[in-house]
Chain A
Amino acid sequence: MRIFDPHIHMTSRTTDDYEAMYAAGVRALVEPAFWLGQPRTNVGSFTDYFDGLIGWERFRAAQFGIRHHCTIALNPKEANDPRCVEVLDVLPRYLAKDGVVAVGEVGYDSMTPEEDRVLAHQLELAREHRLPVMVHTPHRDKLAGTRRTLDVVRESGLDPEMVVVDHLNEVTVELVADSGCWMGFSIYPDTKMDEHRMVEILRRYGPDRKLVNSAADWGRSDPLKTARTGEAMRAAGFAEGLVSTVLWDNPVAFYGQSGRLVLDPLPGFTGDSATFSGNSVLRGARADAASAPAGGGAV
C-alpha cells in the first residue's frame, strides 16, 4: 500500500514515527503550517517555523525515505493576534518556494472579523501564486463555520477544484461535495473522524475528491491512521485500486495542481518496497556507515 498523507504535522513527531510511517507505506506527505499549542507572539517565531518546514523537516523526512512538502499560511487562531498578523507580509516569499504546495491552513476558528479579513487576503495570495488552498474547518460551530467558509471561497472566485475543505464529518461532507471543493477527512483515535466512519462515507459518497489524512500533531493522534483506513477499506471489500485512489492518487491530483510535487524515490530507497535500505543514503557511499542516522541527534 503506497500512501500520501495529505495533512500531518511532522514537526511534532519523532523519528520512530517516520520509520513506522515508511514501514506502513507512506512515501510522501504534506505538512500544513499551523499553530503550535503555545501561542506565538511575533513574526520571527513564524519565519523560523516556516524555515523549518522548508528546511530541517524536509531533510529529516528524506532520511527516512519520505518526500516532505508543506503548506504556508497564517492560521485562523493566530489571525486574531495583532502581533502575528504582520506575518502576512512575508508570506509571498515563502509561497515562491519549492515544496510549498498550497496556502494553508487557512479558515475559521472563532469566526471573527479578523479571521474574515485574513482568510480573504490569503485566498487572494493563493490566486496570485497559482496555488491550491487548504481550509481548516472549526472545531466549534462546525456546520455554520463550514457554510461560511464555502461562501467566502465562492466570493473569492477561486476554482473550487483548487480548494480542499478539511476536518469534515457526516454533518459537513454533503455541503462541501455540492460546492465542487475537495473534501478532507482527518482520522483521529477518538475525535473528528475514525477509519470505520470514513469507510461508510466512502461507501456512500464514493472516492472522488476525497482526501484522507492522519493530521497527527502534538495532541492525541496517530500517524498511521491513513494506513488503518486503507486496511478498513479492504476489510469492507473495497478493491485495491480504490484504496490506492484515495490514499495516493487523490492527494497527488490535488497538490499536483501546484506543479511543485516531487515524488520520485529518494536515493537509496526504492519506490515500492517497504524495506528501509540503510541509513547511509545522504552521506555518500561508505562501507562502514553503521551507526544512527546523521542528524539524528544534536551535534
Chain B
Amino acid sequence: MTGQDHAETWLTEAVRRVTGSPTAVRSLFPAVGREVGRAALRPEEDPGGLVHGTVDDQARVLIVSALVSSLADEPEALARELRELYRYGDDAEKRGLLRGLVAVADRAPDPADPVIAAGLLAVRDALRANDVRLVAAAMGPFASAHLDDHSWRHGVLKCLFVEVPLAAVAELPRRTDAELLRMVADYAAERRAAGRVVPADAEALLATGGGRPPAGPRPGEDTGAGGRPPERARPTDAADPGEEA
C-alpha cells in the first residue's frame, strides 16, 4: 500500500468513526500527521502552508466537518469537543481545529450559540499567539463571518507584522473598512519613519482605496470616518484572495 493509499484509507475510516462516535475524535485528532503526512499543500508558492494549509490541516478539516455533522443537534456537546480539541491540541492540532472552523462559519450570528463562542475562543487565543501558522489559520472564513470588527482588524494588522500573507485572510475585500486602512496606513508610515521596508501586502491593501466604512454607510463609499484618506483609487480587478484560504 502506498503512503497516499494509506492516508486515504485512514482518513476515510477516521471520518466514519467520528460520524458514528463523536468522541473518537479525541484520539484520532493527535494522530493525523503520523497517518496522512504533514507537507504543505502547495509547497512551491506556499512552503509553510500559511495560505493553503498542509496535508494534515486538510485532513483535520474533514474530521472536524464530520464532528460538526454528527453533533448537529447537540450544540453544547459540539462546543465542548471543539473547545477541548483546541485546548489540548499541539501546534498542528490547534491549526487544524482553526481551519476546521470553516465547517461552522455559516451558522447564523447568535451571541448565545455555544459553538460560535467556542470558535471565537480558539480564534482569539490564536491571534494572541506568536506562532505565525496559528495566526494564519485563525483568519479564515469563520473569523470573517463571526469575529468583531476591532479584533478582525487587529488580526489583519498582526498578519502584516508577522508577515503572514494577506492571502490567508478570508474575505479581505468584504471586511476591509476605513478604520483598517487607517491602521495600515499608520503602520506603513511607522515603517517608513524607521527606514524599514513596507510589506508589499500593506501597500497592496492601501492601494485598494476605500473599503467598508466602520459606521456602516453605503458599501464602497470612500475614506470613511476616522481615517487618513487613502492615496489611491480602488482597483476594479481585485480578486478575493480569501476565497482560497
Is B196 part of the binding interface, using a Cβ–Cβ cutoff of 8 Å?
yes
Question: Could you tell me if A284 and B34 are in contact, using CB atoms closer than 8 angstroms?
Answer: no
Q: Which residue of A lies closest to B44 (CB)?
A: A285
Q: Which A237-294 residues have C-beta < 8 A from chain B? A: 259-260, 262, 267-268, 280-291, 294
Name the interface residues of B164-223: CB closer than 8 Å to any CB of A.
164-165, 167, 196-197, 199-200
**Bound Cα distance A262, B37 (Å):** 10
Contact partners of B164 in chain A: CB under 8 A: 283-284, 294
Nearest-neighbour CB distance to chain A for B188, whole angstroms, equals: 13
Contact residue among A262, A280, A298 (Cβ-Cβ distance under 8 Å from B163): A280
CB distance from A216 to the nearest CB of B (A): 22
Contact A98 B130 (CB under 8 A): no
* Closest CB in chain B relative to A201 CB, distance in Å: 35
Write out the residue numbers on chain B whose beta carbons fall within 8 Å of the beta carbon of A99: 90
Q: Which of A53-61, A79-87, A163-171 contacts B (4 or more CB under 8 A)?
A: A53-61
Contacts of A97 in B (CB 8 A): 30, 90
Number of A-B contacts (CB under 8 A): 92
A96 CA to B48 CA, complexed, in Å: 24
Interface residues of B in 25-47 (CB under 8 A from A): 27, 30-31, 33-34, 38, 40, 43, 45-47
Asked whether any CB of chain A lies closer than 8 Å to the CB of B68, the reply is: no
A63, closest chain B residue (CB): B132
Shortest distance between the CB of A30 and any CB in chain B (Å) = 15
A287 touching B200 in the complex, CB below 8 Å, given contacts A55-B90, A281-B47, A295-B132: yes
Pairwise interchain contact A299-B162, C-beta atoms closer than 8 A: yes
In the assembled complex, B17 has its CB within 8 A of some CB on chain A:
no
Specify which chain A residues have a CB less than 8 angstroms from the CB of B197 in the assembled complex: 288, 290-291
- Cβ–Cβ < 8 Å partners of A289 in chain B: 163
How near does chain B come to A291, taking the closest CB pair, in angstroms? 7
The reply to whether B47 and A268 contact each other, CB–CB distance below 8 Å, is yes
Q: Are B130 and A299 in contact (CB under 8 A)?
A: yes
- Number of A residues with CB within 8 Å of any CB on chain B: 32
Structural contact, B48 and A267, CB atoms closer than 8 A? yes
Within 8 A of B (CB), among A44-74: 51, 54-56, 58-59
Most chain B beta-carbon neighbours within 10 Å: one of A59, A262, A280 = A59
Using C-beta atoms within 8 Å of the partner chain, give the interface range for chain B.
35 or more
- A220 near B: Cβ within 8 Å? no
Whole-angstrom distance between the Cβ of A129 and the nearest chain B Cβ? 12
**B132 partner residues in chain A, CB cutoff 8 A:** 282-283, 294-295
CB distance from A289 to the nearest CB of B (A): 6
- From known contacts A288-B199, A295-B131, A299-B158, infer whether A54 and B163 are also in contact, taking CB-CB under 8 Å: no
Q: Are B51 and A284 in contact (CB under 8 A)?
A: yes
Q: What is the bound-complex CA distance between A153 and B165, given in angstroms?
A: 51
**A283 partner residues in chain B, CB cutoff 8 A:** 48, 50, 132, 162-165
Which one of B31, B33, B47, B94 contacts A284 once the chains associate, using CB atoms below 8 Å?
B47
Contact A59–B133 (Cβ < 8 Å): yes
A204 at the interface (CB under 8 A from B): no
- A295 close to B130 (CB less than 8 A): yes
A59-B131, A294-B163, A295-B132 known; A281-B200 Cβ under 8 A: no
Whether A117 is near chain B, meaning CB under 8 Å from some CB there, is no
26 A-B Cβ contacts within 8 A? Answer: A51-B90, A54-B91, A58-B91, A59-B91, A97-B30, A98-B30, A98-B31, A268-B47, A281-B47, A282-B50, A284-B47, A284-B50, A284-B164, A284-B165, A284-B167, A286-B165, A287-B200, A291-B163, A291-B196, A294-B130, A294-B163, A295-B131, A295-B162, A299-B130, A299-B161, A299-B162
